[in-house]
Structure 1
């Protein structure tokens, strides 16, 4: 038996990664809040709400006592929604000890502080190794061992490579990257564009519209990322354009599905209720919009999605505003340096 790994969160992604690690014979423990969910996983070996039709291996343990899962774990995997991260870290308290590595797989920006998860974790555990695991990776497919590639990002080469080794499998290829901020932002911001892609689908628009949203969306993502200190090249990688493609095109994506409902006339609240799980892109839209305003960065797609979600703007009017904006050069930086 390999080392113990503690997974905090029994949603679709936490469960899928638990299955991957259990297959590699790690000692896997999952923490869940709900007693009934813990009983379902323990007895029925299913997690029907989050991964219907999947059988959970018997060598995956489950508990509702979070400190028991954290204790003696070589890696502590954070697989809870972004805006629950701080609460989870506070509940762990001093159960985390030196040498334990914290890995985050959530994708978002904390609303109240506008901080990335790496920054929040550093507040609580500045001396522990940290990595983020991100990329185009639907839990539904990972649980079925469909070939997937992701990136392990850490400021420590040793930590990035350790996480790479732990999670790599014949169906799950892991690359490394030192740009933690860029990888985190790519995973968070693409959910905004996925909402837009879903809205486009809900309105009955076609491939042309979605291609435009995705292409201009990755530009917005990289523009905000670079302003915050990320590397532009990261947004051309797995956690940027890769994650954007999969989230904007798949029905596994909660963000796209929520967008489809909004495009069909649902309110934001109605769409979230219908999805039945956290839609990270909704809060990320507000966070990114506020960041863009504070930094003086133009992000027109984000702005219009924000107006639809939070100001009740008509979706067709928002599309018209985007289409009728002032004419621009496609590559604004290039245009500022060169002339015809």
Structure 2
């Protein structure tokens, strides 16, 4: 198998830029694509991305608004919001070399289709190995080189383990798993549960309430994952429990802060306006509820979050609905 030396990173937001830094730190060569010409100019001239990753010096790396930058690379890393995966796959496909790995670094479920991010990519790259990167990772900490662990899921063990070498360094420790479905589900639903955890914190409901919410949220994630054929053990790892803990207790989480603002009395619209970046849990909540209804699954926290952010119920209604559910075995 050819060693992966050059990786095209599609998406120069905070996460894509941080992953490009991690690839360079691992001794590989990232090439970065962005839609925003000003971002490309900042990266090329100043070795900065002040718009998305302020204060972080970047290693020298090519950056462009031209997707032909993806040609002749050994792997493609797509780091855009989940709802944009389809569009990016469509426009980059003509520039992608035959059979190289496609790695997705996005957390969410597509609304309308209810597809996982790797399933979307598979429609455009049916003959390519597909993988997903997910874990308890804040972009700024990865970029700074603070100790971090993450999961790379790929059904092909040899390719999955080769991808570990693309990222592994003194400060970033990636682990391989074959469970793509479980890794995708854990990374997606934790954003929905984090919105609920933020509401609990914003409403000053106490540590007991947040611990209960997160624990029952993990059970909910496991219920959907098992139904879709995932390995339950995956959710005990970095892409499940690890990511859930970080997002539900880390105040840098956009999903947590969005819920926190609603807990403090902001409307869903007001809370969203105050967060200056994509809140993946909003669209994922809608997609999860679509799945739950189709599959007759009981996902009460996700359903409550979706109703809350849709303006159908108040925070108090959501609390009452969850607390007044019938008592049952854990």
Q: CA separation in 2, counterparts of 1:210 and 1:50?
A: 30
Question: 2:187 corresponds to which residue?
Answer: 187
Residues 82, 280 of structure 2: 8 Å contact kept: yes
Question: 2:55 corresponds to which residue?
Answer: 53
- Spell out the pairing of 1:217-232 with structure 2 (5 A cutoff): 217-232=217-232
Question: 2:72 corresponds to which residue?
Answer: 72
2:83 aligned with 1:93, yes or no? Answer: no
Q: CA separation in 2, counterparts of 1:209 and 1:43?
A: 49
Q: Give me the CA root mean square deviation.
A: 1.4
Question: 2:245 corresponds to which residue?
Answer: 245
Which whole-Å deviations, capped at 9, do the CAs of 1:255-313 have from their partners, x for residues lacking one? 00111111122222222221111100000001111111111111111111111111331
Q: CA separation in 1, counterparts of 2:9 and 2:93?
A: 16
Question: 2:118 corresponds to which residue?
Answer: 118
Q: CA separation in 2, counterparts of 1:284 and 1:174?
A: 25
Moved more, 24-33 or 105-114: 24-33
2:33 aligned with 1:31, yes or no? Answer: yes
Structure 1 stretches lacking a partner, 5+ long: 331-340
Q: CA separation in 1, counterparts of 2:294 and 2:265?
A: 31
Q: CA separation in 1, counterparts of 2:208 and 2:15?
A: 31
Report deviation, 1:101: 1.1
2:324 aligned with 1:321, yes or no? Answer: no
Helix, strand or coil at the partner of 1:259: helix
Report deviation, 1:235: 1.1
- Spell out the pairing of 1:1-340 with structure 2 (5 A cutoff): 3-57=5-59, 59-66=60-67, 68-330=68-330
Which whole-Å deviations, capped at 9, do the CAs of 1:183-222 have from their partners, x for residues lacking one? 0010000000000011111112211111011100000000
Structure 2 stretches lacking a partner, 5+ long: none
Q: Show structure 1 runs of 4+ deviating over 6 A.
A: none
Helix, strand or coil at the partner of 1:7: strand
Q: CA separation in 2, counterparts of 1:266 and 1:37?
A: 32
Q: CA separation in 1, counterparts of 2:220 and 2:274?
A: 29
Give TM-score, length-normalised by structure 1.
0.94
Q: CA separation in 2, counterparts of 1:199 and 1:48?
A: 30
Report deviation, 1:50: 1.8
Residues 108, 188 of structure 1: 8 Å contact kept: yes
Q: CA separation in 2, counterparts of 1:18 and 1:277?
A: 19
Q: CA separation in 2, counterparts of 1:319 and 1:8?
A: 40
